Structure 1
């Protein structure tokens, strides 16, 4: 059992928790909690850390998996990203998706995120995307890190099932989508049409911008059509994840009618 926070394995866990650079270098990230741990594909698990109490109470979880590394309660609290840790932590291999993986699907629908900063928003968008049947998510390089522990928790397991990739050149990636006959819509307060007036049965994508500033003009102008979500009262705009969810489920609604 590891009982010292100075142990090299413990230091590695802390680095993976805190630093995107470390996660990118190791091509790995942390998954904490029993519910999420159960959803991790076995082939993606690199290491398992647990407390002795959790190990004794959840032996079934460890069947047909690798032998876990035991941490003392104090050390586990030290490496945990939650206030009340359950006692199970996995180091998981990152998936490597490409833009071609996203585009190679039949009649796809994408989300394209520009500079969405909040990890919780990005994670919630991924979770909603799975629920709505979205094909994949393309993120600008300045979006929040999907492998951030807070983002991972917000996905509620969708991180393991929805394809996504970051792009160093968002404009070029968008133009590639347009050249593949994918119709793009930008969520814009000054949009020409309500979101539920457009037709989404064919391959399409939605451009979603930063929480505070929305899309940059350069990216918004690449859309084939600018749409808006009608609102009452004095509300000026919606949270990025809420707006994205409304749009995605409108696609799902329309496509169900065509089935």
Structure 2
């Protein structure tokens, strides 16, 4: 049993938990909790760390898996939650190419400088529910492997293709080359329910406080907005994303796609 946070493995976990650069360098991230643990694809699993009580109760989960028992105090140290469930795993990152985003009827979300981990995780999870075929993010968007993002995805991190791009202009060029209509979420746009999303579509969603940059907005084929009543100016980025992708799904189901 590992009983000290001075252990070499524990030190590595702490680095991975706190540092996006370390995660990128090691090409690994952390998954925590039984539900997320069950979701880990076999080819991405690296190693499990569990408390003695958890191991005893869920022994069947760890058959033929590289597993370390850790003390309750060590688990509390490496956990990113207030009340650890007793299981944490190291997982290999998976890399996607933009070509994998196309699918049969492409439906993409393109995020520019989203900063809230909960927003990003919810966007990915909601996107999976609506059937998006990929998620494209600007390089200044919060790290998708941040433990808070991982938790918010509830497993969607393992099922939805995603990538970061150095230059958003390159992402737009890719979309245009593949005949994907691009829509910028903007206050000056047309009401989103008036548009037709049955064809290949990509929605641009901007930073929580500032929205989309002018440069990216101008590159979009069309501007759309979610109409507001009262004194509300805009919706949370995750909520806005959800409304747009579910409207696309509704239209596609009505149209027989």
TM (norm. structure 2) is 0.98
Structure 1: give runs of 5+ residues left out of the alignment. Answer: none
C-alpha contact (below 8 Å) 2:138/2:167 kept by paired residues:
yes
Tell me which residue corresponds to 2:170: 172
2:224 aligned with 1:227: yes
Tell me which residue corresponds to 2:212: 215
RMSD over aligned Cα, in angstroms?
0.8
Please state how far the C-alpha of 1:67 moved relative to its aligned partner: 3.6
C-alpha distance in 1, partners of 2:97/2:26? 18
Residue 251 of structure 1, aligned match among 237, 244, 248: 248
Please state how far the C-alpha of 1:243 moved relative to its aligned partner: 0.2
SS at match of 1:189: strand
SS at match of 1:236: coil
2:116 aligned with 1:118: yes
Runs of 4+ aligned residues of structure 1 deviating over 2 Å after TM superposition are: none
SS at match of 1:188: strand
Please state how far the C-alpha of 1:222 moved relative to its aligned partner: 0.8
Tell me which residue corresponds to 2:145: 147
Tell me which residue corresponds to 1:93: 92
C-alpha distance in 2, partners of 1:156/1:18? 20
1:1-259 matches, cutoff 5 A: 1-63=1-63, 65-103=64-102, 105-191=103-189, 193-259=190-256
SS at match of 1:75: helix
C-alpha distance in 2, partners of 1:203/1:39? 29
C-alpha distance in 1, partners of 2:43/2:112? 31
C-alpha distance in 2, partners of 1:229/1:25? 40
C-alpha distance in 2, partners of 1:156/1:230? 30
TM (norm. structure 1) is 0.97
C-alpha contact (below 8 Å) 2:181/2:200 kept by paired residues:
yes
Write out per-residue CA displacement over residues 55-86 of structure 1, whole angstroms, 9 at most, x where no aligned residue.
001112223x4141011110110011000001
Write out per-residue CA displacement over residues 7-64 of structure 1, whole angstroms, 9 at most, x where no aligned residue.
110000000100001100111100000011011112211011000010001112223x
C-alpha contact (below 8 Å) 2:2/2:69 kept by paired residues:
yes
SS at match of 2:47: strand
C-alpha distance in 2, partners of 1:175/1:207? 14
C-alpha distance in 2, partners of 1:115/1:67? 37
Please state how far the C-alpha of 1:224 moved relative to its aligned partner: 0.7
C-alpha distance in 1, partners of 2:174/2:61? 44
C-alpha distance in 1, partners of 2:59/2:79? 21
C-alpha distance in 2, partners of 1:186/1:178? 14
Q: How many residues align?
A: 256
SS at match of 2:187: coil
C-alpha distance in 2, partners of 1:251/1:60? 41
C-alpha contact (below 8 Å) 2:46/2:66 kept by paired residues:
no
